[in-house]
Amino acid sequence: MSRSAQSRLAEVWTRSPNLVGRKIGDEFVLVPLVSHGADLDSILNLSRVAAFVWERLDGASSGGEVVDAVLEHFEVERDRAEQDYLELVETLVELDAVKRAPKRA
């Protein structure tokens, strides 16, 4: 793994209060709470693994710890889990759905 990926996995993210997630049946839906008419295209559907990750973006767990939790719960290779985690966080950052948490002391 590259040094850049390693440092990104050390980062801690927290969910934005401007989005709410809900599991309905097999779907996990993420909805932005907007102050004007809702943009229906900005609603996100997360896969089971992505929903699992979303719920762990709690401002306390680092990317590496979240990936460890994914490996405990799902049958997936570490490289693949790390890559998927970083891609998901990148998407969530673009959507302003997560914020970087302050560094732990």
- What are the residues binding another protein (CB under 8 A)? 20, 22, 24-25, 27, 29-31, 33-38, 40, 43-45
Those residues whose C-beta lies under 8 Å from the C-beta of residue 28, and which sit 6 or more positions away, are: 21, 22, 45, 46, 47, 48, 50, 51, 54
Nearer to another protein, 37 or 102 (CB): 37
Minimum separation from the CB atom of position 5 to another protein (A): 30
Specify the length of the chain in residues: 105
Q: How far is the CB of 47 from another protein (least distance, A)?
A: 10
Closer residue to another protein, CB minimum distance, 7 or 91: 91
Backbone angles phi, psi at 23, to 5 degrees: -95, 125
DSSP-derived letter for residue 10 is: T
Q: Which is nearer to another protein, 41 or 72 (CB)?
A: 41
